[in-house]
Structures are given as C-alpha cells and as structure tokens.
Chain A
Amino acid sequence: MKNVRNDFPILKQKINSKPLIYLDSAATSQKPIQVIEAELNFYKTSNANIHRGLNTLSRMATEQYENAHGKVSEFIGAKSAREIIFTKNATESLNLLAYTLEKNLSKGDEVLLTKMEHHANIVPWQQLSKRKGVVLKYAEITPDGKLDIEDLENKISPKTKIISITAASNILGTINPVEKVGKMARSAGAKFIVDAAQAAAHMKIEVKKINADFLVFSAHKMLGPTGIGVLYGKEEPLEELEPFLTGGDMISEVNLQSSSWNILPWKFEAGTPNIAGAIGFGAAIDYLQKIGMENIALHEQELLKYSLKRIGEIKSVQIYGPRAQERTGILPFNIGTVHPHDVSEILDRNAVIIRAGNHCAQPLMQQMGMEGVCRASFYLYNTKEEIDALAKGIEQTKKIFGA
C-alpha cells in the first residue's frame, strides 16, 4: 500500500507551499495515473462513436466501451454485463429508478428509506411522491448512528413497494446490514434498492449475496473519472421497466409513430455515452482489483482506528458514529462549538483538505442534533502521518478560536 501514492500525481502537489493532504475521498477520490492515461490513450488512439458503423475505429471504441461494462460486472459479481447500465452518476441511477418504477405504484403505496440517506436517495422519492401520492417512510437510526433494524422491520407493511437504503452512510461511515434488509424486502414483496455510492470504493460488493434488485454507485468515488456511474439491476426487473431517457442507441427499430427498444443494457443508455469516462472507469476497476478490495478495507480500518485514537484524544473534539468495525474510513467530528467552516478554513491553510457542512444529508444532521460537522475521509493513498497533520491543524484551530 505504501507505493500506491506514487501512482497519484496530484498527491505530489503543494498547496500554500505545503504538501497536499487529501482527506476528502468520500466526496471524490483522487485518480491514479493509470486511469488518467487510459482516458488520454483512448482519445489519442481510438476515439470514435460507439455502436455506429462498421469502421475499424468505431469497433475499437465499442470494444473498449463494452469491456468496461464487463469489468464492472465482474467487479460486483453480476450475472452478466447485461445487468450493468452506465449513467452519469449514482444520483442519475436513483432518478432513473424513481421514474421508471413509477408505473407499478398507486396512491398510498409506501417507499421505505432510512434517516441516514444522502439527498440523492431522498429527493427523487419525494418527487415520485408528488407525482403518484406514494407515502415516504423513514427507518430511525440509533443514537450512535446505526440503522435501527427493528424500526425498519416495523415500518414494512403490505403497502411497502420499494425499500431503498444506503450501504454505508456518507457522514458517519456506518455500514448497514443490506443482506438482512434485502431478505425483509423480499418477504414483503418490495423492490430492494441499494445505494452503494459510499461502499463500492471501500469494500467488496457482491450483488448475488446482497440480492438487491438494483444497486447504484459512481465511478468518481472509486478512482474513476467524474460523469460516469452505474445502475446494476437484475435482468428481470430491468426488462420490466420502460426506458428512462430515449433517443439514439437505445432503440432497435424506429418508425414514425412508435419504436421498439434495444436489448439490455443499451435500452437504458440513450445517446452518445461518456465513452472515455467508461474506459477510465474500467482502468480504475483494474487498479482496485490489483490492490484487492480486502487490502483496501484493511488499510482504511487501520487509518480509522488510528484517527479515532489520535484525534479522539484531543480535548474538546467530539467524534460521531459507531465503532471502527462497523464503519468505513470516515471520521466525522466537531471541535467544541467552532463552526465546521472555520475549522476547514484553518485546515485548508495547512493544505489539509476536509469537508465541512451538512454533507447533503440534512435529515441525518437534524436527527443527530448537529448544525454542521467536519468530515475527514480516508482512502488507500492516505497515511498515518497525514492524520498527524490533521491533528496538528485541529490543535491550531483550537488555539485560534479559543476552543
């Protein structure tokens, strides 16, 4: 793991003449040179539109684009690449579902979420609720930031048609028992959706084990480029859905008054997709596979444990969330009553990049009684020395604001 830093050009950069310490991978990860070069090489050698024409260049581009689907399929243990749809990001994947699942819902049907969802897994369902009159329910979380699984079970009713939960919280890092919830969803006859945006980068995702109908994530949080995400779906429920976006490439035949749809996954990929992004994503998956997701998870656990101790022992620092074993490499904290934006401003001056604010999860913040929180998040390229630098920055912040 020590050598991986050399693969990330940005980490050699200085900010305010200090070495960059990037502790915001939960927002977006940095990219290894292998990913950057994969995109560059595509544009230099194979750029053409895909699935169009029988020319050599288009064949090269198509092959690489389709290969990327194959890599994702293998990465999460899907049955085939037919189950892998490329979208813009996890948010678009969830919107696609909220729109296309609509036809099977009636007024009064229920969608069950949790209080630790990212806005991306709340707002599309609120919009659906406005269109169809479905009722949104939220499973509670415990004071230490875990999913209250009993409450979730109690909130399942014969009217529950969709259960959509995050695999890992973007603020607390809490890892949720998705397999267990999946079983509950199946016995209730509800469609089960997993938001793996915060999980796919950090742990081995096995869709057969999770047994979700749909699972979504974004490439940019897992060393890949921005602008490309995944909707995984089992073939059967995907076949049942109408297309979300329509136009070129997603059709099999177009007549003046009606059209028929292409086979999976192309039925859901209208228009020219993010070809270079997909190829970069494929390279990111190769990179992750080479290191091994188990090794990445172990490294993050080690950093998390170190940070819980190192940062936790600083007086007037409060850390939120469950125990190390039950979370990903995310450290949410506050320093006394100092506002998170003031903390991040001081840290920024030390070239320590963290996230501060409400983190696109306002319901969770309200639930935890927090106005804002600082979040340091770790990935495979981070080191204990960087956590020491964070500690130093926190001490400096305390001094400036008298906390």
Chain B
Amino acid sequence: MADNLYTEIILDLYKNPQNKGRLEKFNLETSGGNPICGDQVTFTALISNDIVEDIKFFASGCAISTASDSLLTEMVKGKKISEVKKITPEKLFEQLGGIIQTRIKCALLGLIVLKKGIEEYEKSGKKSATIKGIVV
C-alpha cells in the first residue's frame, strides 16, 4: 500500500537529496511554508542572463515535500527562467512518480515558493530579490 504514495523516486530523493544547502553567492532568496503542516523551504539561486546558473534548497518537511524540492532544483538548474515559470504541477507530479490527492500541497510547496521568487526577481528589474514568509 505504502508504495503507491512513497514512490521509489520520492524515497530516493528523500534519502539522498540533491542541491541541499545554501549558495554562498546568490541573487534570489525565496522562502515559504505551509502553516498547517509546518513544512518550510528556502531556495537560494544565482540567476544570470535569465538562466538559473545554480540553485540550492534548505527544507524542513515531510518526505514528499523534501523530494519535491530536491527534484525541482534538478529540473531548473541551467534552465531559462521563462521555462521555470512554465513548469506545471502536473509535470512535477509526473516526475515524482505520482502524488495522491491528500498530499498535493506537500509536493507543491517548493514550486509555488520558487515561482513566486522568480516573479519578484523579475519585478526587481532582474537584479536581486529576497522573499520571505510565503504562505502556501
């Protein structure tokens, strides 16, 4: 039963998260959380010429949100910010191997926080942005 929810991809990313931590040099910091379950995530990213050169995440949360944050960093690294903005929840869920209805919010936290951060980065005239306390 449990395998339906905790797919191999999720468990693997949870146990071996990629790009975990905080960049030393970054021009975007975006963080938020889900107050109901307490999950939190912070991304630091270095963006130049509209490309996400580097990105790291730091999170405290369940296996699904941690796996999702980790996967996201891999999906966006080296990509144009216009492409990041196009990532749909469905695409993310598919990459995670499927998400059950009750845990959609866990999987979506990172994507919402990252997209909001990129929006604010663009508003800043693509210089730098720090966004804290996004509530999902």
Contacts and interface: CB of A to CB of B under 8 A. Distances in A.
A371 interface: yes
B98 to A, nearest CB: 15
Contact of A357 (B2, B37, B66, B106): B37
Contact of B61 (A339, A346, A358, A400): A339
How big is the A interface, by class? 10 to 19
B130 interface: no
Nearest to A338: B63
Contact of B62 (A342, A349, A358, A400): A342
B61 to A, nearest CB: 6
A345 B2 CA distance: 8
Interface residues of B, number: 17
A193 B11 CA distance: 47
Chain B interface, >50% SS class: helix
Interface string A372-403: 10000000000000000000000010001110
B2 A341 contact: no
A342 B38 contact: no
Given A339-B62, A371-B60, A400 B38 contact: no
Interface string B31-59: 00000011000000000000000000000
Interface string B1-15: 110011000010011
Interface of A: 16, 338-339, 341-342, 345-346, 349, 357-358, 371-372, 396, 400-402
28 contacts: A16-B1, A338-B63, A339-B61, A339-B63, A339-B66, A341-B37, A341-B62, A341-B106, A342-B6, A342-B62, A342-B63, A342-B64, A345-B5, A346-B2, A349-B1, A357-B37, A357-B38, A358-B38, A371-B38, A371-B60, A372-B37, A396-B2, A400-B6, A400-B11, A401-B11, A401-B14, A401-B15, A402-B15
Interface of B: 1-2, 5-6, 11, 14-15, 37-38, 60-64, 66, 103, 106
